[in-house]
Amino acid sequence: MKILQVIDSLPATSGGSRFVTNLSKKLIEKGINVEVLLIDGRKTHFLEDLLQSGIKVHWLGENINRFHPRYIKQVATYLDKYDLVHVHIFPTSYIVALASLLNKKSAPIIFTEHSTFNSRATNLIFKRIENFIYSRFAKIIGITPEVKNFILDNLKVADIKIQTITNGVDIEKITFTQDISRIDLGFVEEDILILMAARFSKEKDFQTLIRSLTYLPEQYKLIMCGDGLKKQECEILVKNLNLSNRALFLGNRSDIYSIMKVSDINVLSSHYEGFGLSIVEAMAAKKPVVASNVPGMNNVVKDAGLLFEVGNDVQLAKHLLELGTNESYYAKISAQCFERAQQFSLDTMAEEYINQYNDTIKDKL
């Protein structure tokens, strides 16, 4: 079985990037022939990881406009060279769907929807386009039941065409990752380190986390790993709140698991979130997690970590204060989070995708 994974690019702090990288490597381990196609092949540690793993990676250019329609024709030339094409993330979904119109011998296409919200699906004009794009896919995978429900509620997609496969994380890799010294990051042992690792994008809500720091004692320090269009806005907010000595922007990091393990608390503050891969990785690192109460991620976190309402910096600060001052509570939440992480095995996820690949290929025969 020969599979092509297609994604627009592999940003250094993207959950989609980590998903495609982890899935591709695990499929190779299981004897599946996998290649990856990127619209934009700009260099990141995820691309390097794939190449070092011996996975063949194609790309159409570097630092290019991923939305340009000229790539449709180029992508079309790949679609009949594989048994199945697995697509991730907009705009790749559009590019591949339209490319399939140009290649009548195209392999069947599976699309994984990674988000519980898609503004195109709720827009009266774009809804028609979205329905057409989804019609080009043999099967659609939602990463949580909430993702599947969003599709069913907003688009004309048959229930039988949509499956749910929950994301998985590489628990063993996280467990055996070495810690780094907090001293090397510029902190002291007494500091309580809060980490949020995510892109600075519209769906993420770094601002609420930054504001929550104003309610906390001086020893609470914030580490933000990632990059994106909203980063400068957050840097200005930190400066305006006089938090520059307590909030550190580390940019994109290839050693994010080490930073997770040296941090005391991991937070994912979002406006919407399909799953929250980084929050499960933090759970696997035996750290307590605090996350926004949004569909998809709330079911991953509830009864293990802690939830706060979107934008409620006071509620978030109360959770962080309790975790930082109550050792038994901290230990309890950490243990619950680690136990929950065991439910999200990368190996199980890969097996479920292989089953879907086999069924989809058989359906075309």
Domain range enclosing 184? 171-341
The structural domain count of the chain equals 2
Reported as a pLDDT band with limits 50, 70 and 90, residue 365 is low
Query: Who contacts 150 (Cβ-Cβ below 8 Å, separation ≥6)?
Result: 116, 117, 118, 121, 142, 295
* Residues 154 and 187 both lie in one domain: no
β-sheet bridge partners, residue 222: 194, 247
* Residues 192 and 317 both lie in one domain: yes
How far is CA 144 from each of CA 53, 108, 284, rounded to the nearest angstrom?
28, 23, 19
* Residues 117 and 176 both lie in one domain: no
Per-residue model confidence as pLDDT tens digits over 270-313: 999 989 999 999 999 999 999 999 999 999 999 999 999 999 99
Per-residue model confidence as pLDDT tens digits over 306-339: 999 999 999 999 999 999 999 999 999 999 999 9
For 210-238, what is the mean pLDDT? 97
* Residues 199 and 162 both lie in one domain: no
Rounded to an integer, what distance in angstroms lies between the CA atom of residue 5 and that of residue 292?
Answer: 30
* Residues 18 and 30 both lie in one domain: yes
Q: What are phi and psi of 205, to 5 degrees?
A: -125, 65
Give the predicted TM-score (pTM) of the model: 0.86
pLDDT at 170: 92
Per-residue model confidence as pLDDT tens digits over 136-192: 999 999 999 999 999 999 999 999 999 999 999 999 999 999 989 999 899 999 999
* Residues 13 and 117 both lie in one domain: yes
* Residues 214 and 149 both lie in one domain: no
* Residues 78 and 117 both lie in one domain: yes
* Residues 177 and 149 both lie in one domain: no
β-sheet bridge partners, residue 251: 225
* Residues 235 and 285 both lie in one domain: yes
pLDDT at 297: 93
* Residues 181 and 330 both lie in one domain: yes
In this structure, what CATH number is given to the domain that contains residue 271?
3.40.50.2000
* Residues 179 and 216 both lie in one domain: yes
Q: Is 119 exposed, middle or buried (0-12, 13-18, 19+ CB in 10 A)?
A: exposed
pLDDT at 107: 97
Mean pLDDT of the chain: 95
255, two tokens: 């050693």
Query: Among residues of the chain, what percentage have pLDDT more than 90?
Result: 93
